[in-house]
Amino acid sequence: MKRVAIVTGGTRGIGEAISLALEDMGLTVAANYAGNDERAAAFTERTGIRTYKWDVSDHDACQAGAARIAEELGPVDVLVNNAGITRDGTILKMTYQMWKEVIDTNLGGCFNMAKAVFPGMRERGWGRIVNIGSINGQAGQYGQVNYAAAKSGIHGFTKALAQEGARAGVTVNAIAPGYIDTDMVAAVPEDVLDKIVAKIPVGRLGQAHEIARGVAFLCSEEGGFVTGSTLSINGGQHMY
């Protein structure tokens, strides 16, 4: 029986690349999305991967969504917490709502989804959880106190949950992408983006498939001795 994977935010950008990479590994993939029905339908038509709609910041919706996938596709053995949003602004201009939405989605979503699938993974003695952090959670970024805090929190969440899963055969790791050529980065003004690329030692933006290959390794049988780790894939932009 094929293993089942959930990829949150799995129909576009890095999430789409991850969904495709896991499918190529032979997993049955369920791609979660929050909003764009038309784009999700086009994704399914293009890839054959089933999509499921819910908001990862909604705890009850995550429980129901994971249960539905388990019922329709089988027990969930792999979870990739990729869903994320931005609500940028300096703290002088950032509203509480901008803070709360990013924390609840980017960090709260990791808890909500792990809560839904982690018990089953432990019971079956095998599981893979990969949380998508960010270079900006490692190094900080002007105008992103909400995003940086949420992504930094993901790295701590990963280390703690890894300790709970290790003896039960459940690994928990994170990937911290640098600046990747996606719609989110394309929204950055060109002059700002040029300055960002100038600070990347390899001299270019990353590609979504480069993140997906890292996720695929961490989700594989061969990744079983890696847990509690953060893999930085950022072109050398932040080294420590």
Residue 115 CA to residue 149 CA, distance in Å, equals 21
Residue 228 CA to residue 163 CA, distance in Å, equals 7
The whole-number pLDDT of residue 186 equals 79
- Domain 4-231 class in CATH: alpha beta
At 129-150, the pLDDT tens digits run 999 999 999 999 999 999 999 9
pTM recorded for the entire structure: 0.96
Helix, strand, or coil (residue 185): helix
At 176-216, the pLDDT tens digits run 999 999 887 778 888 988 998 999 999 999 999 999 999 99
Q: 59 — phi, psi (to 5°)?
A: -60, -50
Which member of 52, 147, 179, 240 is catalytic?
A: 147
Helix, strand, or coil (residue 32): strand
Task: Enumerate the domain spans of the chain.
Answer: 4-231
Rg (CA), the chain: 17
The whole-number pLDDT of residue 145 equals 98
147 counts as catalytic: yes
Q: Mean pLDDT over all residues of the chain?
A: 96
Residue 45 CA to residue 56 CA, distance in Å, equals 23
Q: If you ran DSSP here, which 8-state letter would residue 220 be given? A: S
Non-local (6+) Cβ contacts of 59 within 8 A are 108, 112, 115
Residue 16 CA to residue 12 CA, distance in Å, equals 5
